[in-house]
């Protein structure tokens, strides 16, 4: 009995030492940055709802065409958002294996769900789809791996290329969202700017006041969205930089 207790204490000590090294602390800090991907999620959902925001400002001739585009956009966004879930699951799997017990890997893996498909017209290609599948497999595999430093190192090496591809996919999609937002801004503000001058200030004072208020509201909204795009891109760059730093400090095979 004493020998068993001694063995258990030794194993606990070894695990604790592994998780307390500076490299493992860096891995846990890397995993803690996973919530920064929330800005990408927010912009994906905004892109998903593009038609609902634009519809009141459209001419009837454009509405039918935009409805068809919206149906395709809804399907694509289901896959676009999974990129974030897969990347977060992988990052948190690394954190878990590095000794951070706050993550429930089973819930993380379940949140990934089924696979995704390519949407070439959006920039999401087969290479991105394959990379996403690779990351999700690594996250699922972490469920059965021991909390050891060499396990973390292996997961970092195997996830290096697919993670870079997933980050590339997310950056590509952010450019798509930004272009869509610019088009929406041109449509909405262009319509307001062209229509407001023709409102009779004496007979339609209330309508004119409402139109001007909506114009100011939309101008502020698009300025804020521009800042959100900058934040989302910076967060992807930060995560990519931290991944490279972790890889640079890996011990030689």
Residue with tokens 């896959």: 79
Low-confidence stretches of the chain (pLDDT < 50) are 1-18
What was the pLDDT predicted at 8?
A: 37
| pLDDT on residue 10 | 38
Assess if residue 204 is contained within a domain: yes
Q: Are 132 and 166 in contact (CB under 8 A)?
A: yes
In-domain check, residue 4: no
Q: If we measure between CA atoms, which residue out of 114, 92, 99, 78 comes closest to residue 35?
A: 92
Residues paired with 119 in a beta bridge: 124
| Predicted local confidence at residue 14, as pLDDT | 42
Model pLDDT, residue 253: 67
Residue 14 belongs to some domain of the structure: no
- pLDDT at residue 6, as a whole number: 40
Task: Identify which of 225, 227, 233 has the alpha carbon closest to the alpha carbon of residue 188.
Answer: 225
- Give the domain extent around 112: 21-249
Contact between residue 63 and residue 92 where contact means Cβ atoms under 8 Å apart: no
pTM: 0.87
Q: How many domains does the chain have?
A: 1
Rounded distance, CA 83 to CA 94, Å?
A: 17
**Residue 90, both tokens:** 């992988």
Is residue 72 included in any domain, yes or no?
A: yes
Domain contains 9: no
pLDDT of the residue at 19: 52
């Amino acid at each position: 009995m004493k020998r068993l207790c001694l063995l258990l204490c030794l194993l606990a000590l070894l695990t604790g030492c592994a998780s307390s090294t500076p490299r493992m602390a860096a891995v846990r800090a890397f995993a803690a940055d996973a919530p920064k991907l929330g800005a990408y999620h927010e912009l994906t959902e905004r892109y998903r709802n593009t038609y609902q925001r634009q519809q009141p400002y459209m001419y009837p001739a454009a509405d039918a065409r935009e409805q068809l585009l919206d149906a395709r956009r809804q399907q694509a966004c289901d896959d676009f958002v999974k990129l974030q879930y897969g990347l977060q699951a992988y990052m948190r799997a690394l954190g878990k294996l590095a000794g951070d017990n706050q993550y429930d890997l089973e819930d993380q893996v379940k949140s990934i769900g089924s696979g995704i498909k390519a949407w070439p017209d959006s920039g999401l290609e087969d290479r991105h789809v394959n990379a996403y599948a690779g990351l999700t497999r690594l996250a699922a595999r972490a469920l059965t791996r021991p909390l050891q430093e060499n396990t973390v190192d292996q997961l970092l090496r195997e996830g290096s290329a697919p993670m870079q591809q997933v980050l590339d996919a997310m950056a590509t999609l952010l450019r798509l969202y930004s272009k869509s937002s610019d088009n929406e801004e041109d449509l909405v503000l262009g319509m307001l700017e062209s229509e407001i001058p023709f409102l009779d200030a004496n007979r339609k004072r209330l309508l004119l006041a409402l139109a001007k208020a909506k114009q100011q509201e939309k101008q502020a909204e698009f300025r804020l969205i521009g800042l959100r795009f900058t934040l989302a891109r910076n967060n992807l760059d930060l995560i990519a930089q931290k991944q490279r730093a972790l890889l640079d400090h890996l011990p030689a095979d």
